[in-house]
A and B are shown apart, each in its own frame.
Chain A
Amino acid sequence: MFKQPTLDIFDSNEEALIESAYTKKVSVPVYVPQYQKPSVYELFDHMKSMQMIKRINESSVSAEDKKFLIYAAQRHIIFNFSKIADYYAHSNAEMQDLMEKSALVIVDFDKAIENGFATLNNELSNAYLDEQNG
């Protein structure tokens, strides 16, 4: 019987990954990178796309069709953004710059998000209080 291929990252680790996505019990929504730099090969899983590309290359479709299908197969590469953020933190300035330009991490420049989030919470708390007391 045909068995659907599984994506290991979903089936074994999904819950754990979601649970560990952000540091717990902090009041700012930023990810804290790990101390250890991961291997670059931990940042993505391209097994499925490689399988597709192999099949495309072995097929008899035209060269143009192959080119298109190979581009499309990249959509199946799984990127692990926790590991990517860890990798970013331990990379040099040039690599970091390229990663930012590719939006592989979102850098909270001038603490805009951190401070904005704190202000949002405070002001909503005050508005809530005003309404409850009003």
Chain B
Amino acid sequence: MDNFCVFILTHARPDRVFTYKTLREKGYTGKIYLVLDDEDKTHSEYIKTYINEVLTFSKNEVAKTFDIGDNFTDKRAVVYARNAVFELAKGIGCKYFMVLDDDYTDFRWSFTNERKYVTNKYVNNLDKVFAIMLKFYKATPFTSICMAQGGDFIGGAGSGLSKTYLDGQISRKVMNSFLCSTDRPFQFVGRINEDVNAYCSFGFRGHLFMTVAQLRLEQKQTQSNAGGLTDIYLNYGTYVKSFYTILYNPSSVKIRQMGQSNKRLHHSINWDTTVPKIISEKFKKYGATQAPMQSEAIT
């Protein structure tokens, strides 16, 4: 996997890059790069610890390449880094890369081979797991795939993702960890909820995304790890966050009340009106002069 690397997006917490340690402990032996923006005041501390494993991008330059979705001036958002990685990957000659956040404390299996939902089966050979994911990714037209997050399984075996997997379906989401390629670029849009905005708006236009439900990453509890994006989420909350996705997908996403005791507003995606269906080639009719052709709308 010479042309593969892992990017860890991080900001202002050089002593708390949990993902780096977790990756090594869980058997990943390949290349890792920490991705920092040029406005990070702790840059030198990162360099002291990670030396030549740090890549830096210009926030202002990246800001010119995508739609932030509002006219606020606060630049504390991960969307800049997410959009910077494609060029960074080209610069270091890595065609394939996994983009991770900096707060992962574990990687686990979500299901046994008997398809029983589990929480205590730990991944110990990440080299192998990443190689399997990469093999699938190379063989298929997916724009990006990811591992599930612990939070996807709230409700355990009865959670939405669990039911999706057990029904033999796939989740067309990508969140948090992204396996990408420089020749399958896409953009994250909107200041926050940028991952949801991306898989909804690009999914709507025919890009394929998928969550590999069998694998899950575990993170530090949201809003308990100071620095990074914590402040922006505390300021704006999920109320404002969810509306960014409405801006980009007004025909298929709406705001809905979620939760039982802790009620909150959250985006709700109608998948049937958000992403085109995948169908077998056996339904395609070939005319006399036509050759099989993939969608030209995917750009």
Interface residue ranges, A against B (CB under 8 Å): 7, 9-10, 14, 17-18, 21-33, 75-82, 84-85, 88-89, 91-94, 96-97, 100-117, 119-121, 123-125, 127-132, 134
Q: Which residue of A lies closest to B129 (CB)?
A: A127
| B54 at the A interface (CB under 8 A) | no
When C-beta atoms are compared, the residue in chain A nearest to B27 turns out to be A131
Determine if B109 and A128 form an interchain contact, defined as CB atoms under 8 angstroms apart.
yes
CA distance A120 to B214 in the complex (A): 10
Contact with A along B78-113 (1 / 0, CB 8 A): 000000000000000000000000000000010011
Residues of chain A within 8 A (CB-CB) of B210 are 29
Most buried by B among A77, A112, A128, A134: A128
Provide the residues of chain B in CB contact with A113, threshold 8 Å. 140-141, 208, 278
7 extra interface residue pairs, beta carbon distance < 8 Å, beyond A31-B277, A88-B283, A91-B285: A31-B279, A78-B273, A107-B281, A116-B140, A120-B212, A130-B125, A131-B122
- Is B286 among interface residues, defined by CB-CB distance under 8 A? yes
CB-based closest 10 A-B pairs: A103-B206, A31-B277, A93-B287, A103-B297, A85-B277, A29-B170, A17-B272, A116-B140, A120-B136, A89-B283
Q: Is there contact, CB below 8 Å, between A88 and B279?
A: yes
Cα(A15)–Cα(B113), bound, Å: 29
Interface of A is mostly: helix
Q: Please state if A76 and B279 are interface contacts (CB–CB under 8 Å).
A: no
The 18 sampled A-B contact pairs (Cβ below 8 Å) are A9-B270, A14-B270, A18-B270, A30-B280, A31-B279, A80-B272, A82-B277, A84-B276, A84-B277, A96-B284, A103-B297, A106-B208, A106-B277, A114-B280, A120-B133, A127-B132, A131-B122, A131-B125
Alpha-carbon distance A128/B208, docked complex (angstroms):
26
Task: Check B136–A102 contact: CB distance below 8 A.
Answer: no
Contacts of B224 in A (CB 8 A): none
Which listed residue (B122, B271, B287) contacts A21, Cβ 8 A? Answer: B271
Would you give the shortest CB distance from A83 to chain B, in whole angstroms? 9
Residues of B within 8 A of A116 (CB): 136, 139-140
Q: Which residues of B contact A91 (CB under 8 A)?
A: 285
Q: Which of A9, A30, A32, A75 meets B273, CB within 8 Å?
A: A9
Query: Which single member of A30, A78, A97, A130 contacts B251 (CB below 8 Å)?
Result: A78
Interface residue? B167 (CB, 8 A) = yes
Residues of A within 8 A of B274 (CB): 81
Residue contact B168 to A22, C-beta cutoff 8 Å: yes
Alpha-carbon distance A101/B292, docked complex (angstroms): 11
Structural contact, A105 and B277, CB atoms closer than 8 A: yes
What A residues does B129 contact at CB under 8 A? 124, 127
CB distance from B254 to the nearest CB of A (A): 6
Q: Is the CB of A24 within 8 A of B168?
A: yes
Instruction: Find out whether the CB atom of B112 lies under 8 angstroms from the CB atom of A128.
Output: yes
Q: B205 contacts which of A18, A85, A103, A109 (Cβ < 8 Å)?
A: A103
